[in-house]
Structure 1
Amino acid sequence: MMNSKSQANIKDVAALAMVSTATVSRYLNGNLKRMSTATATRVKAAIEKLNYVPNAAARQMITKQSQLIALIVGNTDDYFSTELFKGVSSILEANGYIGTMFDSDSDIVREKHLMETVNSHGFDGLIIQPFSTVSEIKTLMSRDVPIVLADRETPQAPWPQVVTNNFDAAKQATAYFVRQGFTHFIVLTSELAVATNRRERYRGIKAAAQNVDVLEVSESSYNHKRIHKQLIELLMRDTERTVIFSLKERWLLEFIPNLVLEGYVDNIKATATAFADTETARRIEPKLKLISQDPFLLGASAGEVMVNDLTGHSDRNQAVIVVPAKFG
């Protein structure tokens, strides 16, 4: 008889239920079509009586699946990344999978290391906000697992993509401000060359405006006073009405409040806008018109694409799903 202090194993469950260990394994994996209702009931009762907890490692060896999905985000300092993860997790967990978030911290070297880790640790799939190229992802993710790209338009990618309408939203917002008489635009952004979504937003602004300055802020290290001073210099240099266009909410929250308090952003001579992810941005100055993204929905859509692939309902085509941002 099994010692009451020892942990029950699959053989103990099989013995108590009077079935084979293969039958218990099928029950644990939800494959109930190959057993009678009475058999399933006996297995369930045995599991409950013995307080049996399946060993995840052993189960993975049998099923060849870990039920774990990796999400590599660009930067957890951004609200966007955490909401993206919540959206992904909401779908994964409803379908029996667990999402694990990794932060590349906007560092392409770190991102590559994280992909190597995901590739070698048995994750069933990868959702990523990529800085790396398609060829780099292919090389680092050598196992044949589903991959979904999120928030970064990646031309020629062989995997599904879930993105925002970055170019169109930026162009629409810029055209609105031009109609209101604003003709000078200061683009406040992380390094443009690093991420495709930033470049698409910048391209949208350039498509609707002529007088555009760019002020790049390093995500890893920057001098707040210096950036603040540069913004004031750009605002004062030009006699035209100016829009400070932040390509991410973080920089709007970081730099615009002081400019509002000091009177530089008054919605007459100068105003500001941004791709925003929270209501916090609107509280800075209720009159600001912003581009609202929905990172939770974007994440949930990426999670749904991943689940469909894992369950055989996707052909891994090059479909691009667009979760539109709204300006207003």
Structure 2
Amino acid sequence: MATISDVAARAGVSTATVSRALNGKSSVDPALVQRVVQAARELGYQPNGLARNLRRQETAVIALIISDVENPFFTALARGVEDVAQAVGYSVVLCNADENGEKERRYIDVAVQERVAGVLLSPTSTATDVRALTERGTPVIAVDRPLPHAATDSVLVDTRAAAREATVHLAEQGYTRIGCLTGPSGIPTADERLAGYRDGLRSARLRRDPSLVRRAEFRAAGARAAMTELLAGEGGERPDALLIANNAMAIGALVAISEAGLRPGTDIGVVSFDDAPWAPLIDRPLTVVAQPAYEMGTVAAQLLLARVNDSSRAPTQTTLSARLIPRASSNPTA
């Protein structure tokens, strides 16, 4: 069985650094944390996290409550969380809220009852209530979406800036009637991406046309119906390009585009958030805004472990950047 000394030797650091890194101490450089976590995973090192948490009357379990288990973005995020948690002797329980506030509340109640060590949460709305956790002293980290009414750490992406960049990119390709297909009102990521789209229109000096915007559930079915409306020109002109808020919606939108006999890029420019595995494989590969989902998971898990070990620190917000990956779906000449 691997020891802490074995992990230190593999990572090229001291045993003290290994201990601090695996316990989420903020004084350790993030690059060193990654080296230690990787070494621990390769060696199968398992610290005695169970005994440590029993002393606190907690289980060595982290609850990860996400909004859509079918979304590859959350799959990658969950992998990042699990890699960090497993390396330090914690297990991860995955809970799918399914964009449903009632399911989310039930999972929060379960987390309280089972005395989990901490909770990572992608809230269904800004109204999500985590007081049952925080009043008990259970640390909560908001991931992907903020909890504006709770004093918690958060790990987010600057999604508004990314949406602005994507919209400007479409304008630079010559598209002039750029639409936006985003999620329900009140979900921060949906609202921020719509705001970024509008920022992009202003930067590109394009007219803002409300008829080119649709909101739908973050699912393929709702996006397909909304896209069908847009392509029919209901309420105004048909768009010649579109920014889509996530990859599940992109599937529905692409189905509607195909049913209308159109091709991405050639007939209508398309940019979607999230670089799903299928995005570069379709006919006219999809231009995407790639979010660092795995990194979000690892950073959030490290923050949670730090909070488990030191609850006195002031809440922090970590904001990561997304990356635009241009492909043929936004290039009318490709």
Whether TM exceeds 0.5 here: the answer is yes
Cα pair distance change 1:262/1:142, threshold 3 Å: same
Equivalent of 2:156 in 163, 182, 194: 163
* Closer/same/farther in 2, CA of residues 316 and 127 from structure 1, 3 Å limit: farther
Distance in 1 (CA, whole Å) between partners of 2:176 and 2:103 is 39
Out of 287, 290, 295, the position equivalent to 1:289 is 287
2:166 pairs, out of 165, 170, 173, with 173
Q: Structure 1: how far apart are the matches of 2:257 and 2:321?
A: 29
Return the offset for 1:77.
1.8
CA distance in 1, matches of 2:224, 2:190: 24
Correspondence 1:204 to 2:203: no
Structure 1: gaps of 5 or more residues: 1-53
Aligned mate of 1:242, from 213, 229, 240: 240
Residue of structure 1 equivalent to 2:298: 300
Which residue in the other structure is 2:322 paired with? 325
What do residues 131-155 of structure 1 show as CA deviations (whole Å, max 9, x unaligned)?
2446722246531011100001344
Structure 1 residue 99: deviation in Å? Answer: 0.9
| In 2, Cα distance between equivalents of 1:159 and 1:62 | 24
- CA spacing shift, 1:62–1:301, aligned 2, 3 Å: closer
Map Cα deviations across residues 154-196 of structure 1 (whole Å, 9 max, x no partner). 4464111111110100011111212222222322233132x11
In the superposition, the TM-score normalised over structure 1's length comes to 0.73
Residue pair 2:220, 2:253 contacting (<8 A) in 1 also: no
Task: Identify the residue that residue 13 of structure 1 maps to in structure 2.
Answer: none
Structure 1 residues 278 and 225, CA gap change in structure 2 (3 angstroms): closer
Tell whether 2:251 aligns with 1:253: yes
Is the Cα–Cα contact under 8 Å of residues 74 and 106 in structure 1 kept in the other structure? yes
Cα distance between partner residues in 1 of 2:161 and 2:82: 28
Among 169, 182, 196, the alignment partner of 1:189 is 182
Greater shift, 80-89 or 135-144, is seen at 135-144
Give the match for residue 42 of structure 1.
none
Secondary structure of the residue that 1:250 maps to in structure 2?
A: helix
Secondary structure of the structure 1 residue equivalent to 2:69: coil
Seen in structure 2, the aligned counterparts of structure 1 residues 145 and 316 have a Cα distance that, compared at 3 Å, is farther
Change (3 A) 1:303 1:288: same
Between the aligned partners of 2:173 and 2:79, the Cα distance in structure 1 is 37
The DSSP-based 3-state class of the residue aligned with 1:144 is coil
Q: Distance in 2 between matches of 1:168 and 1:286?
A: 25
Q: SS where residue 232 of structure 2 aligns?
A: helix
Q: 1:78 Cα deviation (Å)?
A: 0.9
Structure 1 residue ranges, 4+ long, deviating more than 6 angstroms after superposition: none
Indicate how the Cα distance of structure 1 residues 140 and 319 shifts in structure 2: closer, same or farther if over 3 A, else same: closer
Distance 1:197 1:221 in 2: 17
**Alpha-carbon displacement from aligned partner over 1:38-90 (angstroms, at most 9, x marks no partner):** xxxxxxxxxxxxxxxx9x7x996544221111010001121112221111011
Task: Tell me, yes or no, if the aligned pair for 1:92 and 1:99 is still in contact at 8 Å.
Answer: yes
| TM-score, normalised with respect to structure 2 | 0.72
**Pairing 1:145–2:144 present:** no
Correspondence 1:1-328 to 2 at 5 A = 62-133=55-126, 136-139=129-132, 141-155=134-148, 157-193=150-186, 195-209=187-201, 210-212=208-210, 213-218=212-217, 222=221, 226-227=225-226, 229-234=228-233, 238=237, 242-257=240-255, 259-260=257-258, 262-312=260-310, 315-328=312-325
* Whole-angstrom CA distance in 2 between matches of 1:308 and 1:60: 14
SS in 1 for 2:192: helix
Letter in 1 for 2:96: D
Identity among equivalent pairs (%): 20
5+ residue gaps, structure 2 = 1-47, 202-207, 326-334
Distance 1:62 1:130, change over 3 A: same
Residue identity matched to 1:81:
F
Shift of 1:257: 4.5
What's the Cα RMSD here? 2.9
CA distance in 1, matches of 2:112, 2:199: 40
Question: Aligned-pair distance for 1:315?
Answer: 4.2
